[in-house]
Amino acid sequence: MKSVLFCLALILLTPLAAAPLPVLPTDLVDRAVRLQAPRWKFVAKQRMRELPETFALQVTALAAHQSPDTVVDGRTLATHLAEKLRFILVTPEPYPDGSSREPEAQGGIGGWTHAVPAHALLLAKRTPAVWAQLTADERARADLLMQALALAAHFCLDDDNDYYLLLDGYSLFHKSWNPNHVEGYVGAIISASLYFGPDELNAFFLQFDFDKFVARLDAANFRNIKNCWTWNPAIRDLMMNGGPVTVPADQILAQGVVTRGAGVRNTFTHDGMSLREPWALHRAQAVRLFSKAVRTRVNASSDFTSELMHRASAATESPWEGQMGMLHEFESTDWDGLRTSLAYAFEGAMIDIPTAATLKALGEWRAAEGGDMLERRMGVGMGDMLFKAREGYRSFSQAKPREYWWEKDLEPMGADFIVGLWSACFAPPPPPSK
């Protein structure tokens, strides 16, 4: 079976075309449905995530929405998706460490994986053959999980909140930081708004009661979310009433800094955009992500310049050198200074593509409102990233040189699922620069 990366090589030089309807490759869908559903757990001062399983859930959800009656291994895609969602929504008994399976709704960088279950629940609700297989209790759990993810997004991203901490009251975050800290929970609240409707979701925020909501989490055995939100007792009052919170003294930076917010009992806006503007919310993040002119050699320090590792050819620069759309993290910053990183670049793409594919599948992609421009940028950015991954890319982050390539670093993170989603749902790269 040919790998997704090899197959993409056949289309990299194809002229820009109109985006097709999402038709996912059969082998990609088969592998996705056969992977176990992802699980999460809350671990204080750490983070647990299962990336390949999460992105397989996204592929399964999109495939089931598109073709619910297609049979794989004796079961329809609708049934496969319902079973994956049931695994996440129902933990019959807590695990020995007190955890359950649902995403802990922490906010911020938790959005690396937390946006995908939000997308999957939205796609399931819009697919009658899937939704009919969930019991009334399971649908109520889906509502509860979606509300929790929306609350986490509100706490971190709302224009009235300026917190440096996530909902565990410890992990560092700010909504002005690099895309991988922000775009995941923008995606989550987009799906939550489409799932409930913007007016209903805002009404829920306005009447939110922390104690009553935690009681619902207890009843559903959603231990991960409860344990996350109650680990620091200050979170209760911050969500209900807003106010100041101080960065802990044992954090790696900003120790003692006080930031403030209004909590979550108000209507949501992010950069002035409301829940009624899902496309605008996504477009702003995606334009920021695919924001650079392609460069292969980036001077990250006085003695380091990025370069290709020539694992596949003797090329010295990207075929799209100079074209707009390179991923943000190929030329950005971190706490230690300048950064150029294939791994961080992929992390931005792996969060954006599931949201983009969900919007495409549901008819929410606005070609005439920046969508065509964005799709071309995506083509440049993804083509450039894949070229650098195939060649290997000498990177620089956290003040250290690093070496990344497809097989060693991206494939184990589920990159084949992300690339498969992009190549099926969006236009291929435009012609090379030369």
Domain boundaries, given as residue ranges, for the chain: 1-20+282-434, 35-276
- pLDDT > 70: what percent of the chain? 95
Tokens 């899937």 locate to 130
Report the alpha-carbon distance of residue 9 to residue 344 in Å, rounded.
22
Closest CA to 357 of 23, 11, 14: 23
Average pLDDT estimate for 15-34:
75
Tokens 């922390």 locate to 210
How confident is the model over 288-305, as pLDDT tens digits? 999 999 999 999 999 999
Model pLDDT, residue 434: 74
Q: Under DSSP, is residue 248 helix (H, G, I), strand (E, B) or coil? A: coil
**Tally of residues, the chain:** 434
Give 209's contacts (C-beta < 8 A, 6+ positions apart): 240
How confident is the model over 191-228, as pLDDT tens digits? 999 999 999 999 999 999 999 999 999 999 999 999 99
Average pLDDT estimate for 78-107:
97
| Distance from chain centroid for Cα 72 | 26
Torsion of CA 231, 235, 236, 241, to 10 degrees: 180
The answer, yes or no, to whether residue 39 has pLDDT greater than 90, is yes
- How many of the other CB atoms lie within 10 Å of CB of 423? 22
Report the alpha-carbon distance of residue 326 to residue 429 in Å, rounded.
12
Report the alpha-carbon distance of residue 241 to residue 239 in Å, rounded.
6
Burial classification of residue 105, based on how many CB atoms lie within 10 Å of its CB (0-12 exposed, 13-18 middle, 19 or more buried): buried
| CB distance 12 to 46 below 8 Å | no
Model pLDDT, residue 23: 79
Bridge partners for 339 per DSSP = 332
- Summary mean pLDDT of the chain: 94
